[in-house]
Structure 1
Amino acid sequence: MQTAYQRWEMNSFDPRPVPTAAPAPLDVPAISLPTVDELNAIREQARTEGYDEGHAAGYADALAVGRAEAAAQLEHLQSIAVTFGNALSQADENIAGDVLELALHLARNMMRTALQVKPELVIPVVREAIEYLPVLQQPAILMLNPEDASIVRDAIGEELDKGGWRVIEDARIARGGCKIDTASNQIDAQVASRWNRLSHSLGKNVEWLD
């Protein structure tokens, strides 16, 4: 028990040290270093990816170059095709012209032979020449080779007389043809003249007599 004069002492306000627990260790993940095989695999992957990228770029460049070369070759081939086509067309024209000229030579020889074998072929020539006249005006003269004149008189002499025709023999006219002379028309139906007109109309110069 304290007396009134008992000395009072204030207790210390300093806190008493409270023992603390040790801090819990941090949860640090374990770090594992790559092995030699893993490092080699990483390097190989990087090398492969780099190769693929370079290969793709190189392929694109090569493809572009190839397309350009192919286009140039195609243009060259098209030019050759056009040139060849023109040359072929020209060759066709030349061949056609040669064939036509050969055909005319053959036809001329066949006609010469036919007139010798069948002299009566002069009759349709005379009829065609007469019918070609639009209007018959007198005098009407029909000139024939002497040998053809006898054939024509025997075949159509009466018809010619009724039409007012006078047949005149002229040795200068080759066999197989005739000449007509009227007041308003002259017709040259000689074989050589008719043949030359046909040949020239076809663009050739294959004369009846050469």
Structure 2
Amino acid sequence: MKASSKSSAHTRFIPREEIDGCSAWRFSAMDGSEDAPAVVTETREPVIDGPSAEALHEIREQAHAEGYALGHAAGGQEVRDALEATVRKTAEETAVRMAQLLHNTREHLQKSEEQISRHILDLACDLARQVVRQELQCNTQHLKPVITEALAQLVDDGLPATVRMNPGDLALMKGALLENLGPSAPDFVADNNISPGGCLVESASTGVDASIEKRWLRAIANLGLDAPWNPENADV
């Protein structure tokens, strides 16, 4: 049993990978007649192992991940650039629309203010007309200062003057007018064409229109209005 174990230990097969080099062996002649043979040494190139399948898989996975990351970054940048361009364009268009809207709103407000101001003036004009008419009906002496001022505007040429008045006004005021004006009182003539509250003072060379229509237009002209004394829609 021991001999068998010892013999098997020296007969083990040696793999090629464990042999670094080998040389041919020749037996020389016993008498020394043959030259010693040259020893040929076989040098075995070292075996370089390539990357394993697992390493190749990791390399591919890494390359794929890097490529995906680069592509994702480039694509994300393109998306961000496109989004920023869209947002910028939308903001510019919105700014233009808002500016136009503000401009139109300003114009509308200006027109509205003008219309409101005009309506207020028209309303004030209507109220003033009613007040004046009420005053003309209540105050029978309203024509005294008007006639006095009109007579003062006539040229003092010594010619007689004539005052044309509405018949109703003349009937109420003739006595008081003659009393106040004294000997220089003009001739008073009833004229149905003269509206109540007005008069025409005439002489041979000139005249003064003190009708209520003319005086009304002169009064409201200072307000930039041109409303007639008796408009078609006004209450008489």
| TM-score above 0.5 | yes
The answer to whether the aligner puts 1:181 opposite 2:202 as a matched pair is yes
- Among 134, 142, 152, the residue aligned to 2:177: 152
In the aligned structure 2, how far is the partner of 1:77 from the partner of 1:110? 48
- The higher radius of gyration belongs to 2
Shift in Å, 1:127: 3.1
Distance 1:128 1:118, change over 3 A: same
Query: SS of the counterpart of 2:101?
Result: helix
What's 1:90 paired with? 111
5+ residue gaps in structure 2? 1-53
TM-aligned CA deviation for residue 199 of structure 1: 5.6
1:204 aligns with: 227
Aligned pair partner of 2:129 in 108, 127, 130: 108
Cα deviation for residue 53 of structure 1 reads 3.4
- Alpha-carbon distance in structure 2 between the residues aligned to 1:170 and 1:36: 126
Distance 2:59 2:145 in 1: 112
Q: Which secondary structure state, in structure 2, belongs to the residue aligned with residue 142 of structure 1? A: strand
**Distance between the aligned counterparts of 1:108 and 1:121, measured in 2?**
15
2:151 aligned residue: 130
SS at structure 2 position matched to 1:120:
coil
Q: Quick one: structure 1 residues 205 and 89, their matched pair in 2 at CA, closer, same or farther if it must change by over 3 Å? A: farther
- Higher RCO, 1 vs 2 (CA within 8 Å, ≥6 residues apart): 1
Q: Which stretches in structure 1 are left out of the alignment for 5+ residues?
A: 1-32
1:188 maps to a residue whose letter is: D
Normalised by the length of structure 2, the TM-score is 0.58
Summarize the Cα distance change of 1:206–1:48 in structure 2 as closer, same or farther, 3 Å threshold: farther
**Moved runs in structure 1, 4+ residues, more than 4 A?**
33-46, 196-201
Identity of aligned residues (%): 22
Distance 1:116 1:205, change over 3 A: closer
Task: Tell me the distance in 2 between the aligned counterparts of 1:204 and 1:142.
Answer: 26
Structure-1-length-normalised TM-score: 0.64
Aligned length: 173
